[in-house]
Amino acid sequence: MARLLAALLTGLAALAASTAARAVPLPEIVAPAVGPRCVLPAEQMRREHMELLRHQRARTVRQGIRGERFSLRLCIACHAGRDERGQPVSVAAPGQFCESCHRYAAVRIDCFQCHSGRPDPEAEAAARRIAGELAAGR
Ligand code: HEC
Ligand code: HEC
Ligand code: HEC
């Protein structure tokens, strides 16, 4: 009886797992507004962006050095989407770049309590300049 129950439970667990795997959609990652390239290869950004932001934060706060390409304001300037009226939408809003992927990965970040998730004009200008440099391979 115990063995039968165990087998039944194993079967149920496998069924639940396969159903869950099929039911969970992959995140649809919002295309960046400013391209064509990220500040590092996308594969590396996927794995290392948290480290980059953490180190950059520590450097800025402790030494006042701004490694401009890795500034949070620039991530936002390139990655914030627009609504149907062309107004910028926060990267932290539901379905937007940072939020959609973090929701999928069940990651919570508190950054946007203090930092704005919308681009500011100065950062947008810097983002366009850096996009040009990246496109030229610099
Ligand atoms: C309690 C408020 C607060 C929270 C929460 C917070 N920050 Fe900051 N952060 C600041 C302040 C203040 C500065 C320094 C002023 C500036 O440079 O904008 C700063 C600077 C930075 C910088 C360097 C400036 C820039 O634009 O790159 C980075 C990077 C950064 N924070 C990343 C983060 C990340 C990532 C998180 C979430 C994990 C976070 N911060 C959460 C207040 C906060
Ligand atoms: C100059 C514009 C620009 C800046 C600045 C920028 N990105 Fe990107 N990012 C892009 C573009 C364009 C892509 C997609 C194309 C590519 O590089 O493959 C991308 C891709 C990514 C990806 C991979 C997304 C995926 O499809 O899996 C992540 C994660 C990412 N960026 C995070 C960041 C973070 C975090 C910052 C700030 C430290 C940042 N980006 C700064 C333009 C930018
Ligand atoms: C391709 C998916 C993806 C995108 C897009 C993405 N993230 Fe992440 N992010 C992750 C994953 C996965 C983790 C957790 C990694 C871990 O725990 O090792 C993470 C973790 C973080 C962390 C560290 C959280 C902590 O508590 O340690 C920060 C900060 C962060 N992301 C900022 C951002 C910002 C800002 C953006 C948008 C500009 C962004 N991420 C876009 C997948 C993504």
| Residue among 45, 47, 98, 129 to mutate when testing ligand 2 (max atoms within 8 A of CB) | 45
Per-residue model confidence (pLDDT) at position 79: 94
Per-residue model confidence (pLDDT) at position 57: 76
Per-residue model confidence (pLDDT) at position 13: 45
Q: Which residues contact 85 (CB under 8 A, 6 or more apart)?
A: none
Per-residue model confidence (pLDDT) at position 69: 86
Distance 97 CA to ligand 2 centre (A): 10
The residues lining ligand 3, judged by C-beta closer than 6 Å to any ligand atom, are: 29, 46, 49-50, 53, 75, 79, 91, 97-98, 101-102, 105, 107, 109, 111
d(CA 123, CA 75): 9
Q: Which residues contact 111 (CB under 8 A, 6 or more apart)?
A: 72, 92
Per-residue model confidence (pLDDT) at position 16: 42
Q: Which residues contact 57 (CB under 8 A, 6 or more apart)?
A: 72
Question: For the whole prediction, is pTM greater than 0.95?
Answer: no
Report the nearest-CA residue for atom 36 of ligand 2. Answer: 75
The residue ranges of the chain whose pLDDT is under 70 are 1-27, 63-66
